[in-house]
Amino acid sequence: MMIRFYFLLIINFFFAVQCINAQNVKAFLNYGEYFSPKDGQFIETYVAIEGNSLQWNRTMDNNLKAQVEYTLIFKLDSQIVGFSKDIINSPLIQDSAQMGNMLLHTNRFKLQNGKYSVSIKLDDLNDTLKASFTTTQITLKRSTNDIFMSSIEVFSKFEKTEKEGMNIKGGYLLTPNVYHYLPEHDSVLQFYTEIYHTKLVLGMDVPFLLSYYLVNNESNIILPQYKKYKRLKSSEVNVFMSSLDIRDLPSGNFSLVMEVRDRNNELKAKTDYFFQRQNSKIVIDEDEISAVNIASTFAELITGEDTLSEIIRSLAPISSGSERVFALQLIDKGDTYIMQQYLFNFWEKRNLEDPFKPFREYMEQVRKADKKFGTSIKRGYETDRGRVFLQYGEPNSIAKEDNDPAAYPYEIWHYYQALNQRDVKFVFYNTDLTSNDFYLLHSTAIGEPNDYQWRLHLRGRDRKFNSIDDDGRTDDWGSEYNNYYENPR
């Protein structure tokens, strides 16, 4: 089964670069993993560059034009195995109001399984002082004998074509959504995927089931109204393109999940696509909460405005965006009865048969977070480590160092599996050296803060930044943070 990887860590990097140097080229990058029965596996990389972060010059015919040199390098065991250097030209424009448009570009690389070091550089050719640079690592691995799926490609528009080339799949020219973000004016989630080796594993023209659905990443709940099925027949490559109406999907973090099952309902392949949704039009209906019956439930036994307020606040790490907003409104109003109704409704949505069970288990975790991560002025769930602990669970390993000769005290957490993501790492550090409050510096989890220069920040009390090209990968003498990060125990 193919494992999905995202360049959201790169996307988050560019957000970090803006904080370091607001004059840099601003861009969003992503990539998808695919397979060709003829040529083998390959990846497509997508870059979207913010036009208003570039210098636009006048041409001889008085039009405006921007140019970016885009360099992308893949290294395997220090050997360059993939390289491209392209000049991305903007369309010619006359009105400066059009400078905000995005410049889109796609590349394709044949890459086998392995752990790659990736370098990306963007140079504004009209302003040599504007440049962005980062390095990261990606790992590609899949079984050659199993059914597997391509990355899910979400696109903003499509066009039927008989041509071949970049962004053309299944006879359609797709405009990729690079951002993993869907604002409220996007009412439809459009997506494309390919399924491989169904013929090899199942035989020719054998029926199988493809299901696809949305998962709320905060609560890890499948949203039944967004679950669909499609019956297909095995072939060399199965192409699937569809859409979901998301006009009623509230703000929050979600995953589109796709599964392939055989006639015996055995899971054969699974892939997912993370996205963030912003939809201020959809809010929790207070009348719906007011209709909840809490008689003879655990919520009826919890009384006192302060107690209820504290319990509801502690739910923030596992709440959706709309739930967090509604909860704060409830706390401000101070109506204890509706707070009880909300509390019961919150857990009933997560376990209809026995809402008290997940409530009891979660509150036990809240107590653990208080004991491990609480400070003199913060409850455990209010700290970064406590929030991550409650949202993702207990890490599989923690590397803790309070006496590094060149770095602030730090902890590096590693998860084999964190919600729908694999091989996730969190780096926390303590800059005041006295409290128990460690701040989240860097993570590989989608949607979390990500900074390719986290090592420089970690040893910031002794070392200063040399340039934006410096990612600090060279260890200081006596330091182990690179070892802990690259080789979790």
Please provide the DSSP assignment of 69-129 as one string: EEEEEEEETTEEEEEEEEEEEPPPBS-GGGGGSEEEEEEEEE--SEEEEEEEEEEETT-TT
For residue 455, give both structure tokens: 């090592």
Q: What is the pTM of this model?
A: 0.74
Using CA of residue 392, residue 393, residue 398, residue 404, what is the dihedral sign?
A: positive
Q: Is 388 helix (H, G, I), strand (E, B) or coil?
A: helix
Least confidently predicted of 47-56, 230-239, 339-348: 47-56
Confidence tier at 462 by pLDDT (50, 70, 90): low
| pLDDT (0 to 100) of residue 5 | 30
Helix 305-314 with 321-333: angle, nearest 10 deg: 170
- DSSP label at residue 4: P
The runs of H, that is alpha helices, within 147-186 are none
CA-CA distance, 471 to 315, in Å (whole number)?
Answer: 36
Confidence tier at 461 by pLDDT (50, 70, 90): low
Whether the predicted pLDDT of 166 surpasses 70: yes
CA-CA distance, 471 to 272, in Å (whole number)?
Answer: 30
CA-CA distance, 336 to 204, in Å (whole number)?
Answer: 62
Least confidently predicted of 76-85, 132-141, 265-274, 404-413: 132-141
Helix 356-373 with 336-348: angle, nearest 10 deg: 100
Question: What digits encode the pLDDT tens for the residues 315-355?
Answer: 999 988 788 889 999 999 999 999 999 999 999 988 889 99
CA dihedral 365, 366, 370, 375 (to 10 degrees): 130
Q: What is 402-451 written as a DSSP string? A: S--SSS--EEEEEEEEETTEEEEEEEEE-SSSSSS-PEEEEE-STTS---
The identity of residue 241, as a single letter, is: M
Question: What digits encode the pLDDT tens for the residues 465-479?
Answer: 444 444 455 555 557
Confidence tier at 375 by pLDDT (50, 70, 90): very high
Question: What digits encode the pLDDT tens for the residues 187-208?
Answer: 999 999 999 999 999 999 999 9
Which helix H or strand E contains 65, and what residues bound it? strand 64-65
For residue 303, give both structure tokens: 């009384």
The identity of residue 408, as a single letter, is: Y
Contact 142, 113 (CB under 8 A): yes
Domains of the chain with CATH codes = 1-142 (2.60.40.10), 144-282 (2.60.40.2550), 286-369 (no CATH), 395-486 (no CATH)
CA-CA distance, 479 to 477, in Å (whole number)?
Answer: 6
Least confidently predicted of 151-165, 171-185, 295-309, 452-466: 452-466
With CA atoms as reference, report the closest residue to 193 among 426, 32, 7, 370.
32
Q: Which residues contact 237 (CB under 8 A, 6 or more apart)?
A: 37, 194, 195, 196
